[in-house]
Amino acid sequence: MCCSRNTQKLPDTGLWESQRSGRAEASGGAGDMMTQVSRSRPPQPTLGSEEYSLYSSMSEEELIQMAIEQSLSDSTTGSQTTAHQKQRGSANPEPNGPTRRPSRPSHRPPQPSNRSLQAAAAAQTPNPDASSGVLRKRYDGSYFQTAPAVELNPIEEMIKKDDAAALSDLMKSGRRLCEANKEGWLPLHEAAYYGSLHCLQLLVKAYPAAIDQRTLQEETALYLSTLKGHLGCIQFLLQSGAEPDIVNKARETPLYKACERKNNEAVKMLVEYRADVNHRCNQGWTALHEAVARNALDIIDLLVKGGAKIEAKNCYGISPLFVAAQSGQLEALRYIVKCGADINTQANDSATALYEASKNGHDDIVEFLLSQGADANKQNKDGFLPIHIASKKRDNDNIVSMLIPVTSRVRVKRSGISPLHIAAERNNDDILEELINAGYDVNFSLSFDRARLYEDRRSTALYFSVINNNIYATRLLLEAGANPNIDIINPLLISIRHGCVTTMKMLLDHGANINAYVATHPTSFPATIMFSMKCLSLMKFIMDQGCEADSCFTCPYGSGPHPPIQDQRRDDIPQDHKQPKIVQFCEMVSTPELSRWAGPIIDVLLDYVGNVRLCSRLMEHLDSYSEWDCIKRKAEPPRPLTHLCRLKVRSLLDRNRLNLLDTLPLPGRLIRYLSYDHSVSASCGTRGEE
């Protein structure tokens, strides 16, 4: 149907009929957010104390329905009769012409009529009252309103029965049957619509000038016959001189509709009577587009032999070959290519047929296009290649494997994004592994223009895998040589935020910076500590891995007064403030979310620093709870000698060798102490051993 073709391509679902209504490219984003939809229970009816004793045995649905019945019975005597008369009056025939159910234009679903409502009601309930609309009860206890009876138009009833004799008698009595009703329908249209050939012949003979008259939807008798597939009526109208190229409101011709309905005989007749095979609907589609979309080879052959243009494009630049590729119609595609269609045809957005076939997962179409020399290095308007779009869809391994050898790595680099990024973002692990095995650069970074589409300015495929908490993909990339320290926000910080120890260990084992900072949100201490403050066990794990904690206790204000903490939101930052303020550790733990955990946080960090002085703000926190007095005493210098020796030994080892402490030729108790085993620290880390 023509008016539904307001798009260029089919979306990824691959269903033709439901996809021509909209085309949306999947765009990259920072991540999908899940929303929970709460379903509220319908309001319960409120009953008075007197009513409760009477109706307590009835269900809630019966109570509601009883109220509806009472309301209907109160209003039936007055308003129902008037409303029913209006309904019946709308179905009464006009003085000078027949009346039928509302017109059913081809470009939208049929509108229900009174007769169809009545038929539906009759099918749902036994013995409905057909004389008036009343409330009836179904077998399951629910209620419904029956539709009132529809008084059929005598002329329409004659035509439906193809009673040409009765219709002839009516005409002999002086009744004029050449006047339209309020919808513009003539009895001629009724006969064409219902396929009543004898009545149609009688009406055309009586009123030959009305053969091409149109309804209010600009539909001719020939169009209506083609719409319903009445071949005898089509042939008679054409033989009687009906014009085959009169269009309806959507600029659809009978030939166009015959192709849409896959009616070979109707197409053959219309082509024989010189119907315009290259006529375009209001969206630029031709009959050939319709035939190709439905893989109707016989009709395609008729149209091409009748002069249909192979390279005809609609208003979006889509040719029949493009339609065949995006809808997965291989037979139609083969025929169109055999007729000389351009294999590298591009739509207005520069997408190729190969791009669309890759997008929709049509393996056989991709294989055929590549065998015919389709160019896999043509970009669409967004700079994406077929291999990019193929990497978006799960289970597209075969298509990706076909595109890898024919895709230029230089073109991929120019696009500013690697298919690795897309596969990692969509968690398509099989495709990701295939691309890695094919030699795609695991450290390829997004271009500036593409990275700025993400709020966190991510740049590597590794970041996509870590933020998706995809352990398998993260391992694949790291083992292939991915550098965990390229992104502005270190993927290690994301794994800390997720609390995924497995990912953290993998990143650290492959050289992730344990003392990573965030350039856009500068702090005076490592961001790894900032991201783990809300989980003390996680913070201790970070510190055990060699994170530097001395900077947490280096405050520029020392024991002096500190300025008040300002809630610096984006709206409060002055326009001339070019460099963001560096956040101190004491300011961070003073925030409402962390202030009540300030003592335990300081306690953990003190185990990994030597002689330090707590600033006045940290002292205020420790003084606020009597239980934190021991932490304050712990911070007083000098620290135990055993503790200082432990720090010295650990400082002589780089972070990568801290995990090898158990291999040193030292007593097990000492190794456990150096590794911060709490059972050993409690006995060794006392002042008595100094």
Across residues 280-293, what is the average pLDDT?
94
Rounded Cα distance between 317 and 322, Å, is 9
Secondary structure (H, E, C), 433-447? HHHHHCCCCCCCCCC
Across residues 578-591, what is the average pLDDT?
86
Tokens of 255: 């030939």
Whether the pLDDT of residue 634 is over 70: the answer is: yes
CA 329 to chain centre: 24
pLDDT at residue number 29: 35
Lowest mean pLDDT among 41-50, 163-172, 327-336, 401-410: 41-50
Cα–Cα distances (Å) from 365 to 100, 299, 317, 521, in that order, read: 47, 21, 20, 49
pTM: 0.71
Rounded Cα distance between 255 and 307, Å, is 14
Across residues 518-546, what is the average pLDDT?
91
Q: DSSP string of 34-57?
A: --PPP-PPPPPPP--HHHHHHHTT
Query: Tell me: the pLDDT tens digits for 316-326?
Result: 999 999 999 99
Rounded Cα distance between 29 and 425, Å, is 9
The continuous run of DSSP H or E covering 386 comes out as helix 386-390
Rounded Cα distance between 286 and 309, Å, is 9
Tokens of 639: 């620290």
Across residues 231-244, what is the average pLDDT?
96
Whether the pLDDT of residue 21 is over 60: the answer is: no
pLDDT at residue number 451: 94
**Higher confidence at residue 140 or residue 563?**
563
Whether the pLDDT of residue 630 is over 80: the answer is: yes
* Residues facing residue 143 across a β-bridge: 137
Rounded Cα distance between 361 and 399, Å, is 7
Which domains, and CATH codes, for the chain? 417-513 (1.25.40.20), 640-690 (no CATH)
pLDDT at residue number 149: 55
Helix ranges restricted to H, 480-535: 491-498, 501-509, 527-531
pLDDT at residue number 20: 31
pLDDT at residue number 651: 84
pLDDT at residue number 61: 61
Tell me if residue 405 falls in helix, strand or coil: helix
- Residue 484 identity (one-letter amino acid): P
Lowest mean pLDDT among 22-26, 68-72, 342-346, 549-553: 22-26
Owner of token pair 């009929």: 17
Question: How much of the chain, in percent, has pLDDT values that exceed 70?
Answer: 74
Question: For residues 351, 357, 359 and 360, what is the CA-based torsion angle, rounded to 10 degrees?
Answer: 140
Whether the pLDDT of residue 501 is over 90: the answer is: yes
- Nearest in space to 402 (alpha carbons), one of 432, 429, 364: 364
Lowest mean pLDDT among 100-104, 172-176, 549-553, 683-687: 100-104
Q: DSSP string of 239-290?
A: HTT--TT---TT---HHHHHHHTT-HHHHHHHHHTT--TT---TTS--HHHH
Lowest mean pLDDT among 93-107, 141-155, 420-434, 576-590: 93-107
- Nearest in space to 380 (alpha carbons), one of 333, 421, 419, 415: 415
CA 78 to chain centre: 51
Tokens of 535: 């989980």
Across residues 32-46, what is the average pLDDT?
34
pLDDT at residue number 138: 63
**Higher confidence at residue 680 or residue 423?**
423
Helix ranges restricted to H, 510-571: 527-531, 536-544
pLDDT at residue number 323: 96
Rounded Cα distance between 381 and 347, Å, is 10
- Nearest in space to 45 (alpha carbons), one of 26, 29, 66, 15: 66
Across residues 612-639, what is the average pLDDT?
91
pLDDT band at residue 190, thresholds of 50, 70 and 90?
very high
Across residues 472-485, what is the average pLDDT?
97
pLDDT band at residue 178, thresholds of 50, 70 and 90?
confident
The continuous run of DSSP H or E covering 145 comes out as strand 143-145
Rounded Cα distance between 477 and 483, Å, is 9
Average pLDDT, the chain: 80
Across residues 252-271, what is the average pLDDT?
95
pLDDT band at residue 137, thresholds of 50, 70 and 90?
low
- Residue 574 identity (one-letter amino acid): P
pLDDT at residue number 355: 97
208 neighbors 200 (Cβ within 8 angstroms): no
Lowest mean pLDDT among 347-356, 573-582, 652-661, 677-686: 677-686
Rounded Cα distance between 278 and 319, Å, is 12
646 neighbors 690 (Cβ within 8 angstroms): no
Other beta carbons within 10 Å of 402: 22
287 neighbors 272 (Cβ within 8 angstroms): no
List % helix, strand, coil for the chain (3-state, nearest 5): 50, 0, 50
Rounded Cα distance between 552 and 323, Å, is 63
- Nearest in space to 170 (alpha carbons), one of 182, 158, 161: 158
Rounded Cα distance between 177 and 155, Å, is 9
Tokens of 354: 């190969």
92 neighbors 84 (Cβ within 8 angstroms): no
Rounded Cα distance between 24 and 27, Å, is 9
Rounded Cα distance between 12 and 25, Å, is 9
- Residue 114 identity (one-letter amino acid): N
pLDDT at residue number 519: 86
- Nearest in space to 584 (alpha carbons), one of 623, 559, 603, 557: 557
pLDDT at residue number 455: 92
Across residues 67-88, what is the average pLDDT?
46
Whether the pLDDT of residue 118 is over 70: the answer is: no
Give the total residue count for the chain. Answer: 690
Rounded Cα distance between 283 and 281, Å, is 5
458 neighbors 467 (Cβ within 8 angstroms): yes
Query: Phi and psi (nearest 5°) for 94?
Result: -75, 155
Other beta carbons within 10 Å of 601: 23
